[in-house]
Structure 1
Amino acid sequence: MHPMRRAAAWSNRIPGGRDGRRMLAIALVDRIGSGLWASVSVLYFTYVSHLSVAQVGTLAASAGAIGIAGAPLGGRLADRFPITRILITVQLLRAVASFALLTTHEYALLLAYSAVGSLGDRAANILTRLYATRVAGPDRVRYQAFHRTVANAGWALGGLTAAAALALGTTTAYQWLLTGDALSFLGSALLTLRCGEPRTASRTVATSKAPPPTTKPASPWRDRTYLVYVASETVLFLDDAVFKVGLPLWIAHASNAPHGLAPLLLVLNNVMVVALQVPLARFGTTTAAARTLLVPVSVAFALGGAAMALSATGGIITATLFLTAAAVAFTMAEMLHATVSWELSVALAPTTAQGAYLGVHGLAQSAQRSVGPLAVTAAIATGPLGWTAFGTAIALTSLFQHRLVRERLARTPLSVPPVTVSEH
């Protein structure tokens, strides 16, 4: 097939129509910029801003902690105001925060600007996800698969560009990478201007001739089942910490594998997501099917932990093979859980308060960024038994979630009705 026809065929498979495709373009631009900056931010603050190791660590931790509020705040605003306007505002806020980092080396100001950027990052993540949920309707799981594929490709492009720029090792190179990150947010804001505003259940009621409901929208903070579900999600997102912290440290300190294996396993993770996320999505196209996937998710996490433990029992070849097997298992768990999480987080939420609920769900990933490094370093400190316990604990959490949502889903429709998107 001609490349142009192949691209057109791939495009026509994307749910959400024209606006769905535009949001994927926004995700690509956004993640390319994030890939430029995420891999060099620590180096920028160290070599350009001349911060100490303690200052860099405190800055990253503080900005991350403040950014946690972005998810529920963005979701709450999306239930009250047009989501495209909020997303444009957030993207512009991120751009201003990135440009502001170029203007100073004062620690307090760098901390403040980083915190604003982190707040915007988490809010933009939830708003983009909520927009996709509304325009894709019942096809939201398949759309999520395309979104993750494009996002991972963007990260890879940004990361490769950053690696090439770092070969120069100059202050100007670091500054251009940060500038590229800021420009990606401006580009995302401009692209969002062309996106139609999806109609929500609450907005449809408000604009109809029927009187609006007098009851308050449901609050996720008073929904005990949903809060427990979000807590379990924090555990299931720990695969992120495995690839960012666990594998590199385990290879460096406790296995016989060559240190150069660590970046190769990260590449393997990225390639698998780009190649397999869309095909795997067909196994979770309904809420019931998504819940069923929690069983293989638990198996994948258990196998990943066991492979990590076994990697310490042999020489270079044995360690390399088991670490590769662990990376494959954890990546499978990541992809399957992404499908499950996207579907269940929406299915468990009332249609009139999706923004607020998805905002609270976003806290799971934010919390994992703080808890995850501690969990994997504890596994490393305990040795092979620690990794076995790590994988088993997450597997049991997956099975717990499978049981937790069963009764709730029995009282909830298994798919959302198609939503309409307003025309320009």
Structure 2
Amino acid sequence: MKPRPRRVPFTDRLKVPGGRDGRRMLVVAVIDKVGTGLWTGAATLYFVYVAHLSIAQIGVLMGLSGILGVAGPPLAGRLADRFPVTRILVVAQLARGAALLALLTTDDYALLVLFSALGSLPDRASSVLTKLFAARVAGPHRIRYQAIQRTAVNIGWAVGAAGAAAALTVGTTASYQALLLADVASYAVIGALTFRCAEPPAPSRVVASPATGAGPSPAASDRRTSRTVPAPATPWRDRRYLAFTGSEIWLFLDDSILQVGFPLWIVHATDAPVGLAPLVLVLNSVLVIALQVPLSRFGETRAAARRLLVPIGAAFLTGGLALAASAVGGPWFATATVLLAAVAFTLAEILHSLASWELSVALAPGEAQGAYLGVHGLAQSAQRSLGPVVVGAAVGAGPFAWPVLGATLVLACLAQHRLVRPDAAPAQAAVGGAKASEAPAAGG
């Protein structure tokens, strides 16, 4: 009798960089998004039907939470340069769960605002910490790791959203509370899994040397000899990195365009069927799952990531022109052009995620990698506040606004292309002393 072949874990078949801890953190990301998908789809309805808040009160609650959450990325990045990133991430995950669980203890509006705001801070922080862990554990293969992770979390989000939709058909207080508790449980699970991960080498604490290839950081050596060392690099004085982060705010607009702009535009400006709006989001998820990993090979180095900015701009402009055209035809033409726009903006989203990931790490000096990535995390936080306003204004302005918005996104791509040109000093490696950002990633 032939022995059964050994089953190869799915994450091994994907060739996930980072070894066992890389695979474990991938599982953490999926569980996190399943829980988030369960709760996010029900959160607003929970505040309406269980906490009995008005729409205006919910708007204030979410707005204040978003404002406090902006502080999460830079704070987390700064801490991660000084303390183990895995332990900070565990604290952030448990804090998210505790803040969410606290919502069940009260229906007082002030406390609900407080707990929601306190939960937003570690929520935004955990995103940067997860990215930082990936950059350190995957090293020069970080682009492939990010692509696999982004594909996996899209699947997790879809599973969670489907579960929420099923639970919401019941519509009872108990069903809303069950979704909240399921999300809390996911935080407990990922906290335990993260705690089991080994701490990856951090450039801020371990720096390669020509003699040994690795050794204690200059700060550690100088503490023993009582010598004065230069202050570590700070992103707040790095004009190029701040300009890069500023351009990122605009390039992250694809999120608001897809989530907010498409539904509003379909309903108010086109003859396409209303049911097309949710299908756009389904199409977006399917394309991300199908294309994120295969396209990752085009962003494996700093130079390759810079080259992606040209097709990103072209995709943004194509999407804007297609949305404008969708307002002047009948139902079939409107449907076709809306779908073309959705494909274009999704392609821009996929390619930008690769370029953004690589450049944000490659431009950061190793000794302050956490602080730099924390500042870069502000771009997405700012977009979440600014994006809906910009997109809402574009919808209200009419068809001509979409090509104009697309043109501004092209200009942002061109500006970023100039900012990261190769005549600037090469970035320090993410892990160790090698120029990882310029070395091709394996496994693509």
Task: Give the shorter-chain TM-score range.
Answer: over 0.9
Q: Which structure: larger Rg?
A: 2
**Deviation at residue 399 of structure 1 after TM alignment:** 1.2
User: 1:336 & 1:245 partners in 2: Cα distance?
Assistant: 21
> How far off is 1:38 after superposition?
1.1
Given that 1:265 and 1:324 are in contact with CA atoms closer than 8 Å, whether structure 2 keeps it comes out as yes
Kindly state the Cα deviation for residue 376 of structure 1 after the two structures are TM-superposed.
0.7
Give 1:3 shift.
12
- Contact 1:287–1:414 (CA<8 Å) still a contact in 2? no
Confirm or deny: 8 A CA contact 2:203 2:369 kept in the other structure: no
Aligned residues between the structures: 417
Task: Pick the aligned partner of 1:198 from 194, 197, 200.
Answer: 200
Decide which moves more: 205-214 or 275-284.
205-214
- What is the SS of the residue equivalent to 1:216? coil
Residue equivalent to 1:319: 334
CA deviation after TM superposition for structure 1 residue 232, in Å: 0.2
Say whether residues 1:391 and 2:406 are aligned partners. yes
| CA drift at 1:102 | 1.0
Over 3 Å counting, the alpha-carbon distance change for 1:415 and 1:200 in structure 2 is: closer
Trace 1:97-116 onto structure 2 (pairs within 5 A).
Answer: 97-116=99-118
2:91 aligned partner: 89
User: For residue 268 of structure 1, what is the aligned residue in structure 2?
Assistant: 283
Following the alignment from structure 1 to structure 2, what is the Cα–Cα distance between the partners of residues 417 and 160? Answer: 39
CA separation in 2, counterparts of 1:220 and 1:146? 28
Deviations 1:213-244 (A, max 9, x none): 70111111111111111010000000000111
CA distance in 2, matches of 1:154, 1:111: 28
Among 216, 228, 234, the alignment partner of 1:207 is 216
CA positional deviation for 1:6 = 7.9
* Cross-structure match for 1:179: 181
Report the Cα distance in structure 2 between the residues aligned to 1:419 and 1:69, rounded to whole angstroms. Answer: 31
The superposition leaves residues 248-281 of structure 1 with CA deviations (integer Å, 9 ceiling, x where unpaired) of 1111111111111111110110111111100000
For 2:13, give the aligned amino acid: W
Instruction: State the one-letter code of the partner of 2:342.
Output: A
Secondary structure of residue in 1 paired with 2:205: helix
SS of corresponding position for 2:53:
coil
Q: Is the 8 A contact 1:287 1:415 kept in 2?
A: no
Q: What's 2:238 paired with?
A: 223
- 1:211: Cα distance to partner? 3.7
Name the CA distance, whole Å, in 1 between partners of 2:354 and 2:410. 17
Matches within 5 A, 1:37-52: 37-52=39-54
1:161 aligned partner: 163
- Tell me if the contact between 2:48 and 2:55 (Cα under 8 Å) persists in the aligned partners: yes
Superposed CA deviations along residues 5-62 of structure 1, whole A, max 9, x for unmatched, are 5836524x11111111011000011111111111111111011111001000111111
2:10 aligned partner: 7
Query: For the Cα contact (< 8 Å) 2:254–2:345, is it kept in 1?
Result: yes
Contact kept in structure 1, 2:32 and 2:187, CA below 8 Å: yes
Deviations 1:180-205 (A, max 9, x none): 11111111100011100011122125
Per-residue deviation, residues 72-124 of structure 1 (Å, max 9, x unmatched): 00001000111111111111100100100111111111111111111111000
Matched, 1:286 2:301: yes
Alpha-carbon spacing, 1:50–1:419, altered in 2? closer, same or farther (3 Å): farther
Question: CA separation in 1, counterparts of 2:254 and 2:6?
Answer: 35
Match of 1:148 in 2: 150
Structure 1's 8 and 103: CA in aligned 2 closer, same or farther, altered over 3 A?
A: closer
1:244-259 counterparts in 2 under 5 A? Answer: 244-259=259-274
Higher helix share: 1
Distance, in Å, in 2 between the alignment partners of 1:178 and 1:263 is 24
Whichever residue aligns with residue 216 of structure 2, its letter is T
Distance across 2 between alignment mates of 1:414 and 1:186: 36
C-alpha distance in 2, partners of 1:99/1:162? Answer: 17
Please give the alpha-carbon distance, in whole angstroms, between the structure 2 residues aligned to 1:70 and 1:268. Answer: 31
Change (3 A) 1:256 1:20: same
* More divergent stretch after superposition (54-63 vs 196-205): 196-205
The amino acid that maps onto 2:82 is R
TM, length-normalised to structure 1: 0.95
The CA deviation at 1:415 is 5.4
8 A contact 1:136–1:418 mirrored in 2: no
Q: What amino acid sits opposite 2:134 in the alignment?
A: A
TM-score, normalised by the number of residues in structure 2: 0.91
Partner of residue 253, structure 2: 238
Q: Percent identity?
A: 56
Pairwise CA RMSD: 1.8
Give the letter for the 1:228 counterpart: A
User: Secondary structure of the residue that 2:115 maps to in structure 1?
Assistant: helix
1:128 corresponds to which residue? 130
Residue 417 of structure 1: how far off its partner (Å):
4.7
Structure 2 unaligned spans of 5+: 208-214, 435-444
Within 2, Cα distance between the matches of 1:6 and 1:95?
A: 29
Work out the CA distance in 2 between the residues paired with 1:414 and 1:320. Answer: 47
Asked if the contact 2:365/2:427 (under 8 Å) is kept, the reply is: no
Tell me the residue number matched to 2:381: 366
CA distance in 1, matches of 2:82, 2:339: 47
Q: Distance in 2 between matches of 1:194 and 1:84?
A: 9
Q: Structure 1 residues 144 and 264 mapped into 2: Cα distance closer, same or farther (>3 Å)? A: same
